[in-house]
């Protein structure tokens, strides 16, 4: 692991996103709360938050962090037939929380996939990315949005 002992303790925040493309039937079943495995959005939200907390157990060189906030927002985009996911993570520490945010979005997307795979064998996880980060010496990063 990188030695972070000389770094400033600052508020560190990061957000990430992911999309899961599904067929129309899957979107309808999620919206109606009738997916066979249960409430897709609630399960994915909790899975994403749990994943943020477990990041250093799964990514070998990540520092264990005391997270002060981890959240996952999930919504349906019926025009794109997708489940949209955005995670946000915050801590006060010596290293950033980008990996925790990416882990939360990724695991939430994997959970959506798992809960929908019986209905939609062609589901696709895409566009997993860091959308913003702040804190520390490198300052603020904000991904430019597509027009």
Distance CA 67, CA 52 (A): 9
CA dist., res. 129 & res. 68, Å (int): 22
Q: pLDDT (tens digit, 9 = 90+) per residue, 74-90? A: 999 999 999 999 999 99
Rounded to an integer, the average pLDDT of 60-68 is: 96
Element (H, E) at 84: strand 82-93
With 0.85 as the threshold, say if the pTM is over it: yes
- Whether the predicted pLDDT of 134 surpasses 60: yes
- Catalytic residue IDs: 114
Please provide the CATH number assigned to the domain covering 17-133: 3.30.70.640
The domains of the chain are located at: 17-133
Among residues 86, 106, 62, 112, the alpha carbon closest in space to that of 14 is found at: 86
Phi, psi of 140 (to 5 degrees): -100, 135
For residue 141, the model assigns a pLDDT of 96
Q: Which tokens is 9 given?
A: 């303790």
């Amino acid at each position: 692991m990188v030695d972070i002992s000389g770094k400033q303790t600052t508020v560190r925040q990061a957000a990430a996103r992911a999309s899961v493309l599904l067929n129309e039937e899957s979107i309808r079943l999620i919206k109606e709360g009738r997916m066979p495995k249960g409430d897709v959005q609630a399960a994915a939200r909790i899975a994403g938050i749990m994943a943020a907390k477990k990041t250093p157990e799964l990514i070998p060189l990540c520092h264990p962090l005391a997270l002060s906030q981890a959240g996952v927002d999930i919504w349906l985009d019926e025009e794109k037939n997708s489940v949209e996911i955005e995670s946000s993570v915050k801590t006060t520490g010596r290293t950033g929380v980008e990996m925790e945010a990416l882990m939360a979005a990724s695991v939430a997307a994997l959970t959506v996939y798992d809960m929908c795979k019986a209905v939609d064998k062609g589901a696709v996880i895409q566009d997993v990315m860091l959308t913003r980060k702040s804190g520390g010496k490198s300052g603020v990063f904000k991904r430019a949005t597509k027009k």
